[in-house]
Amino acid sequence: MSIRKLYCLLAASICFLLITSCKEKKEPSSESSQQFQNSYNDISNSNKRDSIKAIEFVHLLDSIQMPSVKNAPTIDSLFEYLFNQWVANPESFANIPEEFSKATNNNKLSEHSKKAAVLYLSLSFYIQYKIEQMDSIILQISKHENELDDANKILYYRNLGLQLTLKNRTGEAVSSFQKALELVKTNPNYNSCELGNIYCNYATVYLKMNDNTKALELLKKSYSLLANNNCNANDLQTTILNTGVAYVNLHLIDSAICYYKKQLPLLTNNSFRNYTMSYVAYLNIGGAYIEEKKYDSARYYFAEAALINDKVKDENLSILLNTFSAIANAPIKDVSKEVSQIKNYVALFYKNNDLYDVQNVYEALNKIAVIKNQYKDALYYLEKLDSIKELATSAENKKMVGELELKYHTAEKDLEITKQQSQIKQSRNLTFFLIACIIILILIAILSIKTIKDRKEREAETMREHFTHQLLEGTEHERERIAGELHDNINQRLVMLKKDNFISNPLMAGRIEDLINSIRNIARNLYPVSLPHIGLQYSIEHLCEEMTTNSAMLITSEISFNETILNKSTELHLFRIVQEALNNTIKHANATEAKVTIKDYTQQHLLMINIKDNGRGFEVDTSLKSKDSFGLLSILQRCKAIKGICNIHAGNNGTIISINVPYSSHQILENINQQYV
């Protein structure tokens, strides 16, 4: 087993222990998190007006110094408070959606909190009926659905369900709300108010499908949770209104009116939200009285709604008031103008793909026609109504929703089984913990032995590399010394001897000249004396020309690089590598051509050297194991000394030696400084 695998196994074991034994991991910013929590509690528990609290909460968000996951639940509560205040009174809290937008890009918030801000911004677009903006956000979030934690997933699935319901994609909406319910129920500390809201949202799908019995079942669960847990009054009012609608659709008018009137005591102030909720309450109570044909009572509540119509400024609600008022006024006056206006609403609702409101329009036109004894028109509107209902509640759609319901209930049973299995697993954790401790102790012992052994091997390898490097350096110094002696001492004496015999004994002078050239070649082979003076490029080009002259092989070069990237030692090693490779080619390859290529790849900080010939090739592995492989081994050792990577490829078409030598910007500056010292 390798040392790396042992480290991975040890890390995995430690992670297991941390997961099974640690209940909470403290954050480095726990003090800051506690201070934030205390400030939140002070604002939340104060007796200040909601508008002042909202301002202080916004300032508290701006005061965060660093992202903290520990703050996330508190910030979720803060977002929920701000959102509810905006829903209740959008005129006084008009800046809240903008604050959500700012929070989405606030890097002082954790990723969870930024995503939560995005989801609340999406929900605000839904409330404002800005469908395009909501669609855009939902689309972006859906791409990162798997990255959301459970708290944000619940909010996302609620938003998605509302969007799909709005678009009459009921099957997908059911699936989305079921996912939200499942996540809330699997959370041991789930929020009862949140669960109540999801049930209310879920019920709207069945209201759209005219499955009022199922809608009522969900709404009763919602009402029980919201009313018994002191939840937000706005959410409770929405549940009451939807319950009344379900009762009206089931023709249980008395129950509907009873529920509608439960809403009225909740209207405690004159905020925009409560004007709207009052308006809706009056419309629904009036609508219920229309079902009982108590048109006088209906007109009374519609008149109450009309008194606050200018404060609500909601086009959809105004359409409902005009439609319901026309029905209530039909028994006492001519409503032909109102009927023409109601017919125009059909095109608008079709354009918005709102089949539910199209049904309401045709139902209203049918009721007016019946009141006016226009039975032909009444039959026409009734047929239209039936066709729309059939479209909205198609058998295929109902089948899809039914299948989803069955899967959901099956999943709930599976969840119970999973919980039981989880409890059994928890009872085994202590045993696993002890076993893990024993395994870790054994692993530590093995790891310690392996680490000591590997360290000794690394030290031995380092010593071998150091010895090889020193040997190469020593050899080059000795060659340089001998070459210098030959060039500066013996050659100089021979030159003087040549001068002495140049006139008196020309034959002897010629022999001395040959001897001088031979010694000069020996000195050049021992050490490239010109290398420090003319540089690596010209030295290699001269070497190629000289070898071409002295052999039957054509040797060319293509060299282009910045010589400041190399120090003197590296240049010498590269020269020796090229020299050794070309000598091997001349001696063994039986080649006619060879080429030396050196290029500098600045972006990769890499110098690449290729030595290629068209010879007969050889078996690389076999040659390296042979006792005659000194030349190849010398190339490999020199590459290692300059931290280069050498690849040798030999085949029928010739041999290619490729060498990559890395360098850095720091190294270039160091080399330049060395050149000017």
pLDDT digits (tens, 9 = 90+) for 535-577: 888 888 888 988 898 888 899 999 988 877 788 888 888 888 8
Contact 117, 100 (CB under 8 A): yes
- 3-state SS assignment for residue 27: coil
Range of the domain at 140: 36-148
Q: Tokens representing 542? A: 């001269």
> Does residue 378 surpass a pLDDT of 80?
yes
Q: Which of 390-399, 461-470, 635-644 has the lowest mean pLDDT?
A: 390-399
| Residue 379 included in any domain | no
Same structural domain for residues 503 and 574? no
Give me the pLDDT at residue 465, please: 64
Amino acid in position 518: S
Q: Does residue 360 belong to any structural domain of this protein?
A: no
Name the domain boundary from 503, 527, 551.
527
Q: In what order do the strands lie in the sheet with 645-651?
A: 554-560, 593-601, 606-613, 654-662, 645-651
The CATH number given to whatever domain includes residue 549 is 3.30.565.10
Looking at per-residue pLDDT, the higher value among 340 and 3 belongs to 340
Residue pair 103/117 in contact by the 8 Å Cβ criterion: yes
Given a cut of 80, whether residue 652 has pLDDT beyond it is: yes
| Bridge partner list, 555 | 594
28 against 553, higher pLDDT: 553
pLDDT tens column, 193-223: 888 888 888 888 888 778 888 888 888 888 8
From 98, 116, 148, the end of a domain falls on 148
Mark whether 573 and 657 lie in a shared domain: yes
Residue 641 CB neighbour total at 10 angstroms: 18
DSSP state of 333: S
Say if residue 538 is in the same domain as residue 672. Answer: yes
Give the closest residue to 350 by CA, choosing from 338, 359, 341, 340: 359
Tell me phi and psi for residue 554, to 5 degrees: -85, 120
Q: What is the pLDDT of residue 448?
A: 84
Mean pLDDT, range 19-46, rounded to an integer: 66
pLDDT mean over 642-671? 80
Task: Compute the distance between CA of residue 106 and CA of residue 94 in angstroms, rounded to an integer.
Answer: 20
Handedness of CA 574, 575, 577, 581 (dihedral sign): positive
Nearest CA to 236 out of 245, 220, 255, 223 is that of: 223
Amino acid at 574: L
- Do residues 70 and 97 share a domain? yes
Q: Is residue 361 part of a domain?
A: no
Same domain, 560 and 653: yes
Q: At residue 4, does pLDDT exceed 60?
A: no
Q: Which of 308, 309, 307, 289 is nearest to 299 (CA)?
A: 289
Look at residues 75, 66, 76 and name the one whose alpha carbon lies nearest to residue 31.
66
Q: Note the pLDDT of residue 657.
A: 92
- Which of the four pLDDT bands, split at 50, 70 and 90, describes residue 30? low
pLDDT of residue 118 exceeding 70, the answer is yes
Which residues are bridge partners to 648 per DSSP? 657
pLDDT in tens, 43-59: 888 888 877 888 888 88
Nearest to 118 by CA among 145, 87, 89: 145
The mean pLDDT value of the chain amounts to 78
Domain match, 493 and 544 both: no
pTM over 0.75: no
Q: Which helix (H) or strand (E) holds 558?
A: strand 554-560
Residue 199 contacts by C-beta under 8 Å, 6 or more apart in sequence?
181, 218, 219, 221, 222, 225
548 in the same domain as 433? no
Domain-located, residue 567: yes
- For the stretch 494-516, pLDDT in tens is 777 777 777 777 777 777 777 77
545 and 671 in a single domain? The answer is yes
Pairing of β 593-601 and β 606-613: antiparallel
Relative to beta strand 654-662, strand 645-651 is: antiparallel
User: Domain for residue 327, yes or no?
Assistant: no
Structure confidence at residue 110 as a pLDDT band (50, 70, 90): confident
Query: Does 486 map to a domain?
Result: yes
Write out pLDDT tens, residues 61-87: 878 877 777 777 888 888 888 887 777
Q: Last residue of a domain, which of 148, 177, 203?
A: 148
- Specify the range with the lowest mean pLDDT, choosing from 316-320, 417-421, 573-577, 597-601: 417-421
- For residue 30, being part of any structural domain is answered with no
Give pLDDT tens digits for 157-191.
888 888 888 777 888 888 888 888 888 888 766 67
Is the distance from CB of 104 to CB of 118 less than 8 angstroms? yes
Residue 388: band (very low, low, confident or very high) from pLDDT cuts 50, 70, 90: confident
Beta-strand pair 645-651/593-601: unpaired
State residue 612's pLDDT score. 92
pLDDT given for residue 266 in this prediction: 65
- Are residues 497 and 547 located together in one domain of the fold? no
Residue 621 pLDDT class (50, 70, 90 cuts): confident
Q: What's the pLDDT at 54?
A: 82
Say if residue 520 is in the same domain as residue 540: no
Report whether pLDDT(395) > 50: no
State how far the Cα of 493 lies from the Cα of 60, in Å rounded to an integer: 92
Say if CB 83 and CB 125 are below 8 A apart.
Answer: no
448-503 per-position pLDDT tens digit: 888 888 887 777 766 766 666 666 666 766 766 776 667 667 767 777 777 777 77
Split into its structural domains, the chain has a count of: 3
**pLDDT recorded at residue 596:** 93
Residue among 621, 663, 664, 659 nearest 639 (CA):
659
Q: Name the pLDDT band for 658 (thresholds 50, 70, 90).
A: very high
List Cα–Cα distances, 165 to 116, 215, 280, 386, 392, in angstroms. Answer: 21, 14, 20, 21, 12
Highest mean pLDDT among 205-214, 270-279, 593-602: 593-602
Q: Which residue has the tokens 């330049």?
A: 672
Helix (H, G, I), strand (E, B) or coil at 48: coil
Higher per-residue pLDDT: 19 or 345: 345
Residue 149 pairs in a beta bridge with none
Shortest CA distance to 284 belongs to which of 233, 333, 249?
A: 249
Q: How many CB atoms lie within 10 A of CB 214?
A: 18
Q: Across residues 219-248, what is the average pLDDT? A: 83
Task: Assign 107 a pLDDT band (cuts: 50, 70, 90).
Answer: confident
Give the residue ranges of DSSP H helices in 527-554. Answer: 531-550
What separation in angstroms does the CA of 42 have from each of 35, 57, 103, 108, 231?
A: 11, 11, 22, 21, 20
Phi, psi of 558 (to 5 degrees): -135, 100
Helix, coil or strand: residue 572: helix
Instruction: Compute the average pLDDT of residues 427-436.
Output: 80
Asked whether residue 434 falls in the same domain as residue 556, the answer is: no
Q: Specify the higher pLDDT residue, 526 or 37.
A: 37
- Residue linked to tokens 């509540």: 301
Give the pLDDT score at 310.
Answer: 78
Which of these, 213, 212, 184, lies nearest to 197 by C-alpha position? 184
Same domain, 520 and 554: no
The residue behind tokens 């040392």 is: 3
**Number of residues written out for the chain:** 677
Say which residue, 6 or 422, is predicted with more confidence.
422
How many CA atoms, within 13 angstroms, populate the side-chain half-sphere of residue 673? 6
Element (H, E) at 659: strand 654-662
Most confident region among 6-15, 249-258, 527-536 by mean pLDDT: 249-258
Please say whether the dihedral angle defined by the alpha carbons of residues 255, 256, 261 and 263, taken in this order, is positive or negative: positive
Question: Is residue 621 included in any domain, yes or no?
Answer: yes
Model confidence pLDDT, tens digit, residues 122-166: 888 887 778 788 888 888 888 888 888 888 888 888 888 888 887
State residue 659's pLDDT score. 92
